[in-house]
Structure 1
Amino acid sequence: MKIDFLLIGQGLAGSALSYRLIKEGCKVMVMDLPHENKSSRVAAGLYNPITGKKMVKTWKGDQLFPVIEPFYEALEKELGVKFLYKKSIYRPFLSIEEQNEWMGYSGEESFRGYFKQIYQTSLFPEVLNPFGGILLSMSGYLDIPVYLDAYRDYLIKLDAYREEKFEESRLEFLSEGIVYEDIHAQGVIYCNGLGAMESKLFPNAPFAPVKGEILDLQQDFVPDEIINRGVFRIPLPNGQLRVGSTYTWHDLDIGPTERAKEEIFEKLDKLIISNEKVLMQHRTGIRPATKDRKPFLGKHPEHSGVYMFNGFGAKGVSLTPYFSWVMADLLLRGKNPEKEVNISRWK
Structure 2
Amino acid sequence: MEVDFLLIGQGIAGTVLSYRLIKSGKSVLVIDQAAANNSSRVAAGLFNPITGRKMVKTWQADRLFPVIKPLYGELERLLEKKLIYDKNIYRPFFSIEEQNEWMGKSCDAEVQDYLEAVRTQPLCEEVADPYGGIMLKNSGYLDINTLLDGYSSWLADNGQLKRDHFDEGMLEHREGKWHYQGTKASAIVFCSGLGAAKSSYFDWLPFAPVKGEILEMESDFTPAEIINRGVFRITMPDGRIRVGSTYSWHDLDQGPTERGKEEILERLEKIVPGQAGKLLSHRVGIRPATKDRKPFLGKHPAAESVYIFNGFGAKGVSLVPYYSKIMLGLMLEGSEPEKDVNISRFFKYI
TM-score range, shorter chain: over 0.9
Give 1:204 shift: 3.0
Segment drifting more, 273-282 vs 319-328: 273-282
**Letter of the structure 1 residue corresponding to residue 111 of structure 2:** F
* 1:221/1:274 contact within 8 Å kept: no
Provide the secondary structure at the position in 1 that maps to 2:3: coil
> Map of 1:112-261 to 2, 5 A cutoff?
112-174=112-174, 176-261=176-261
Distance 1:171 1:290, change over 3 A: same
Taking the aligned partners of 2:201 and 2:275, their CA distance within structure 1 comes to: 53
2:274 aligned residue: 274
* TM-score, normalised by the number of residues in structure 1: 0.98
Give 1:155 shift: 0.6
Taking the aligned partners of 1:52 and 1:203, their CA distance within structure 2 comes to: 30
2:318 aligned residue: 318
Residues 62-99 of structure 1 deviation map (CA, whole Å, 9 limit, x = unaligned)? 00001001111110011101121110000011112211
Asked if 1:16 is matched to 2:43, the reply is: no
1:111 aligned residue: 111
Give 1:254 shift: 3.7
**Letter of the structure 1 residue corresponding to residue 298 of structure 2:** G
Provide the secondary structure at the position in 1 that maps to 2:344: helix
Residues 230-262 of structure 1 deviation map (CA, whole Å, 9 limit, x = unaligned)? 000000111110000001001112411111111
**Letter of the structure 2 residue corresponding to residue 245 of structure 1:** S
Segment drifting more, 123-132 vs 236-245: 123-132
* 1:214/1:244 contact within 8 Å kept: yes
* TM-score, normalised by the number of residues in structure 2: 0.97
Provide the secondary structure at the position in 2 that maps to 1:289: coil
Give 1:39 shift: 0.9
Taking the aligned partners of 2:27 and 2:93, their CA distance within structure 1 comes to: 49
Give 1:175 shift: 5.3
**Letter of the structure 1 residue corresponding to residue 255 of structure 2:** G
**Letter of the structure 1 residue corresponding to residue 159 of structure 2:** D
Give 1:108 shift: 1.6
Taking the aligned partners of 1:164 and 1:120, their CA distance within structure 2 comes to: 54
Point out 4+ residue stretches in structure 1 off by more than 4 angstroms.
Answer: none
Taking the aligned partners of 2:135 and 2:36, their CA distance within structure 1 comes to: 37
Taking the aligned partners of 1:42 and 1:56, their CA distance within structure 2 comes to: 25
**Letter of the structure 2 residue corresponding to residue 252 of structure 1:** L
Segments of structure 1 that go 5 or more residues without pairing to the other structure are: none
* 1:79/1:151 contact within 8 Å kept: yes
> Map of 1:87-102 to 2, 5 A cutoff?
87-102=87-102
1:308 aligned residue: 308
Identity of counterpart residues, as a percentage?
58
**Letter of the structure 2 residue corresponding to residue 227 of structure 1:** I
Query: How many residues of Structure 1 are paired with residues of Structure 2 in the alignment?
Result: 347
**Letter of the structure 2 residue corresponding to residue 300 of structure 1:** H
Give 1:276 shift: 5.5
Taking the aligned partners of 2:221 and 2:167, their CA distance within structure 1 comes to: 49
Distance 1:275 1:135, change over 3 A: closer
Segments of structure 2 that go 5 or more residues without pairing to the other structure are: none
* 2:33/2:165 contact within 8 Å kept: yes
RMSD value, Cα? 1.1
**Letter of the structure 1 residue corresponding to residue 194 of structure 2:** L
Provide the secondary structure at the position in 1 that maps to 2:110: helix
